[in-house]
Amino acid sequence: MAYVPDLMRKSVYDANANLKVDVAEDADTVDGKHADEFALVGHEHSIEEVNLNGHLIPESDGAFDLGSELKRFRDGYFSGTIYAGDVEFKNGWRITEIDEDGKLMDGIRIVDGEGREVLRICRQGKGISILVR
């Protein structure tokens, strides 16, 4: 059999960050580029567990979701503060910091599933005003 150079074989090679070249077991590279550099749409990997040693920060502000209406996460565990806009529950009730005119208020409102305000807690002068409807 004649000599066949590596480039002609059916194996695919992957250049790692440490500049060592390994055979890519799942054919995830083309011309030394990782698949996510050329297959941005429809390319998925199944991962059992992801361990992070740093922050998870999206590329654009307000552009990405975590889960979906049909593909939800079961539980979330946090040890710090959660910063969010509105909090909406499955029954349609919502906790919001936006008043009925669409402006940010110095307090919160609880709105039922029909959009009716049922409770408002806000700062008024040096005190707090509580309105229950």
- Residues 16 and 8: their CA atoms lie apart, in Å, by 21
Token pair belonging to 67: 């889960």
Closest CA to 92 of 63, 117, 61, 114: 114
- How big, in percent rounded to 5, are the helix, strand and coil portions of the chain? 5, 30, 65
Maximal CA-CA distance, the chain: 91
- pLDDT confidence bin for 17, thresholds 50/70/90: low
Pairing mode of beta strands 127-132, 117-124: antiparallel
**Can you say how many angstroms the Cα of residue 59 is from the centroid of all Cα atoms in its chain?**
11
Element (H, E) at 96: strand 94-98
Pairing mode of beta strands 29-30, 127-132: unpaired
- pLDDT confidence bin for 12, thresholds 50/70/90: very low
| pLDDT of 25 | 47
pLDDT single digits (tens) 24-35: 444 555 555 555
Name the least confident of 16-30, 55-69, 94-108: 16-30
| pLDDT of 31 | 55
pLDDT single digits (tens) 62-86: 888 889 989 999 999 999 999 888 9
- Residues 120 and 108: their CA atoms lie apart, in Å, by 6
Closest CA to 106 of 73, 77, 128, 90: 128
